[in-house]
A and B are shown apart, each in its own frame.
Chain A
Amino acid sequence: MLRFIVRRALWMLPTVVFVTFLVYIAVRIGWNPVASYQRANPRASKAKLAEYREINGLYDGFFGYLRGYKEWGWRFVRGPDEWSRSIKGRADVYSPLRYAFFNTLRLGLVSAVFGISIGLFLGVLAARRPGGWFDTTVNTAAFFLGSIPPFVSGVVLQLIFAVQLGWLPPAGLYPPGHQGFDLVLMTKHLILPVTVVAIQTISAYSRYMRASLLDVSSADYLRTARAKGISEGAVLRRHGVRNALIPVVTVLGIDIGGLIGGLIITENIFNYPGMGVFFIRASTNGDFPQLMPYLVLIVVSVLLFNLIADLVYAFLDPRIRLD
């Protein structure tokens, strides 16, 4: 087990380097940092431009990209003090990204916890009597809710609960001008965004869980457990759900991409100061020094979650051979 973990973890490093290099090339070509710099500073002199190229390692040609990536990578690894400043406003990149990261983490964690637990719970309840009224209701609701894109549910909820009824604040993390920490205000601002993300998660996970539980429901070990005279609830809890969770856990690891996507949309609707807003702003400005750390963070988290899913899968299902 330990060898497997170490080997997989060591493989992550070259993968991260390779993928971020691809992303680097895509960003260099796609957003063209030199052009964005000229757009942001239209009266920059030739010397200023050359200096800017030099600082950020914006060399041309494939070998230029390779050299630029190497220089950028070294600066990135040496820590936030060394990172180059943003194109727009020559501002520090690290502290806004950190702020945005923790905001997104809070929103993502809360909605993932709510969404996944409610989804799994509904899935288990639905699978207990397949074809029953509860199953039909959950299934149909999940089908309809799953068909609603997050920006539609976000806009509709914002319109109804924030603008028309005025029960909840329409946007932001705190009311404008608010200073310091306030749990009640923060919770109020979180309700709508969390709902939007959770709707997606609930509809997906209730269906996964139901399908997975129905898959194991005809397994021999369940018949054995019932034959031993264990109560139906204990059979479900101890043997059914535990085994049904195995495939769901892997989906969880892979689904991180979908969660991040949903968060980007939700944050932008509710003007929630997280990484989604950070990314869209950086992308519109073509801000190379802001885009790269964000994308590295995304790449690392996607690979990390895939790794964790693999490990948990191997841990939960001893039949899986690791070598």
Chain B
Amino acid sequence: MTSAIAPGPLSPIIATAPALDAAEGLDVAAHTPGQLAWRRYWRHRGAAVSTVIMAILLLIVIFSGLTTRYGVNEAVLDISEGKNQYLPPQDIAWFGTDDIGRDIYSRLILGIRTSLFIGVASALLSVFIGTAVGAVAGLRGGRFDDIMMRVTDLFLAFPFLVAVIIVREFLGNLPWLTPIVGEKSSVRFVICLFAVFGWMGVARLVRSQVLVLKEREFVEAARAVGGSSTRIVVSHLLPNSIGPILVALTISVIAAIVGESTLAFFGLGPQPGAGGTSLGKLIELSREGAKQGNWWLVAFPCGSLVLLAICINFIGDGLRDALDPKLDSGK
């Protein structure tokens, strides 16, 4: 799972790279750093194409009332009118039907909706927690920092899947936690579960950013004029680490989506209730689909997951290039 994250050092933004931008024909003097970043982002071909694809996908998902053809649990035709299970792609079901005759196309749209929600929600949660913990650890240092590094070391070294399954059972069997995180099979629980794992990477990232930035002159100046620690973190350290944090956010989104599908693959995913489905639930079906040779059960759910993964990774890559121009991609 870690391999979905592009390796590469995330060095802090020290300065924009005027030479690089000028070489690429960007007029540095006439634009704000934000405008430069925006242009650099759209210059990244993969990121630009991915953004367009994601935008289209988001529109399809948001207007699922218009784009779906059947309800989430609706069979394409009544069983009395003919066989409706495992129909290959055809007029009445563009992407074929599943084991009880439901339309894969409509379920896919609704499933991507749930999965995107899980991804974005748990990414926001883990970035929020991770930023707070990482900033405090980096600024304060000492015992808290030591303990945090040890805990994250331990979890990051452990096989992700094993750790997720253990923590899932553990959190799911604590009765006093259930009112907060929900039942083991709920969407809320899965979001919390991935936040439990997701904050660690972000915290380490923010910590290393803070460690570098807090030695810089502008932080010293802020301290000299009497700025409190909170003020220094909120208005100096975090805005200057926004690039890596945004990249971490995009990567957390896809990590959570893939994670949900992985759990569902083992039958441990969320059951989004009678009115919903998730990408994971459809992927779970493709496991049987492959053995039976029903290719459409594999191609469409797996294809959309891979499409999501590639697009979001590209967007992360583009953001990295745009917000951290010192880090050229090895060209």
Residues of A within 8 A of B298 (CB): 155-156, 159
Q: Could you tell me if B290 and A159 are in contact, using CB atoms closer than 8 angstroms?
A: yes
Binds B, one of A219-227, A238-246, A254-262, A312-320: A254-262
Complex Cα distance, B165 from A298, in Å, reads: 14
Quick check: is B224 within 8 A (CB to CB) of the other chain? Answer: no
A224-241 contact mask (Cβ, 8 Å, vs B): 1 or 0: 000000000000000000
- Chain B residues within an 8 Å CB radius of A149: 1, 4, 258, 261-262, 305-306, 309
A23 CB, nearest partner CB in chain B, Å: 7
Residues of B within 8 A of A29 (CB): 170, 173-174
B331/A258 in contact, CB under 8 A = no
Q: Count chain A CB atoms within 10 A of each CB in B165, B291, B309 and give the residue with the most.
A: B291
- Closest Cβ of chain B to A170, distance in Å, is 7
**Per-residue 0/1 for B300-331: is the Cβ within 8 Å of any A Cβ (1 yes, 0 no)?**
00100110011001000100000000000011
**Is A30's CB under 8 angstroms from B169's CB?**
yes
Residues of B within 8 A of A210 (CB): 330
A window 280-323: CB within 8 A of B: 280, 283-284, 295, 298-299, 302-303, 306
> Which size class do A's interface residues fall under?
35 or more
Interface stretch (choices A44-52, A95-103, A183-191, A263-271): A263-271
Contact A214 B3 (CB under 8 A): no
B91 to A: closest C-beta gap in Å: 24
Question: Does the CB pair B313–A261 fall under 8 Å?
Answer: no
The answer to whether A152 has its CB under 8 Å from any CB of chain B is yes
Residue ID in chain A nearest B165 by CB atoms? A283
A85 at the interface (CB under 8 A from B): no
**Contact status B290-A148, CB under 8 Å:** no
Q: Are A131 and B161 neighbours in the complex by a CB distance under 8 Å?
A: no
Question: In the bound complex, how far is the Cα of B154 from the Cα of A34, in angstroms?
Answer: 29
A211→B7 CA distance, assembly (Å): 9
Given contacts A170-B291, A261-B161, A269-B287, contact A144 B266 (CB under 8 A): no
Asked if B162 and A261 sit within 8 Å, CB to CB, the answer is yes
Q: Is the CB of A130 within 8 A of B330?
A: yes
B side interface size, CB within 8 A: 49
Q: Tell me the bound Cα distance from A28 to B1 in angstroms.
A: 27
**Chain B residues whose C-beta falls within 8 Å of the C-beta of A255 in the assembled complex:** 2
Bound Cα distance A151, B265 (Å): 8
A-contacting residues, B242-274, CB 8 Å: 258, 261-262, 265-267
Interface residues of A in 138-161 (CB under 8 A from B): 143-144, 146-149, 151-152, 155-156, 158-159
Is there contact, CB below 8 Å, between A254 and B6?
no
Whether A30 and B166, one on each chain, are in contact in the complex, defined by CB atoms closer than 8 angstroms, is yes
Cβ A155 vs Cβ B331 within 8 A: no
| Residues of chain B within 8 A of A269, CB atoms compared | 287
Contact A23 B166 (CB under 8 A): yes
| Stretch of A1-9, A65-73, A76-84, A199-207 on the interface side | A199-207
Write the nearest CB–CB distance from B291 to chain A, whole angstroms: 7
Interface: A163 (CB within 8 A): yes
Which residues of the other chain, B, contact A265 by a CB distance below 8 angstroms?
161, 262, 265
Cβ of A113 within 8 Å of any chain B Cβ, yes or no, is no
Q: Is A105 an interface residue (CB 8 A)?
A: no
Interface string of A52-93 (1 = CB under 8 A from B): 000000000000000000000000000000000000000000
Structural contact, A155 and B286, CB atoms closer than 8 A: yes
On whether the beta carbons of A257 and B330 are closer than 8 Å, the reply is no
How close is A32's CB to chain B, nearest CB, in angstroms?
6
B70 to chain A, nearest CB (A): 25
- Residues in B with CB closer than 8 Å to A121 are none
CA distance A255 to B159 in the complex (A): 9
The interface bits of chain A over 155-198 (1 if a CB of B lies within 8 angstroms of the residue's CB, else 0) are 11011000110000011000000000000000000000000000
Contact in complex: B310, A214 (CB < 8 Å): no
Is A13 part of the contact surface with B, judged by Cβ < 8 Å?
Answer: no
Chain B residue nearest to A280 in the complex (CB): B266
A63 to chain B, nearest CB (A): 19
**Whole-angstrom CA separation of A31 from B290 in the bound complex:** 31
Question: Which of B1, B292, B293, B302 makes the CB contact (< 8 A) with A261?
Answer: B1
Interface residues of A in 1-35 (CB under 8 A from B): 19, 23, 26-27, 29-32
Other A-B pairs beyond A31-B169, A163-B293, A261-B160, 9, CB < 8 Å: A19-B154, A147-B306, A147-B309, A152-B306, A155-B286, A211-B7, A258-B159, A260-B161, A261-B159
Give residues in B with beta carbon < 8 Å to A.
1-4, 6-8, 154, 156-162, 165-170, 172-174, 258, 261-262, 265-267, 283, 286-287, 289-293, 295, 298, 302, 305-306, 309-310, 313, 317, 330-331
Q: Would you mind naming 15 contact pairs between A and B with Cβ atoms under 8 Å apart? A: A131-B331, A143-B310, A146-B4, A149-B262, A149-B309, A152-B283, A155-B289, A256-B159, A257-B2, A260-B159, A260-B162, A261-B162, A268-B266, A279-B165, A295-B162
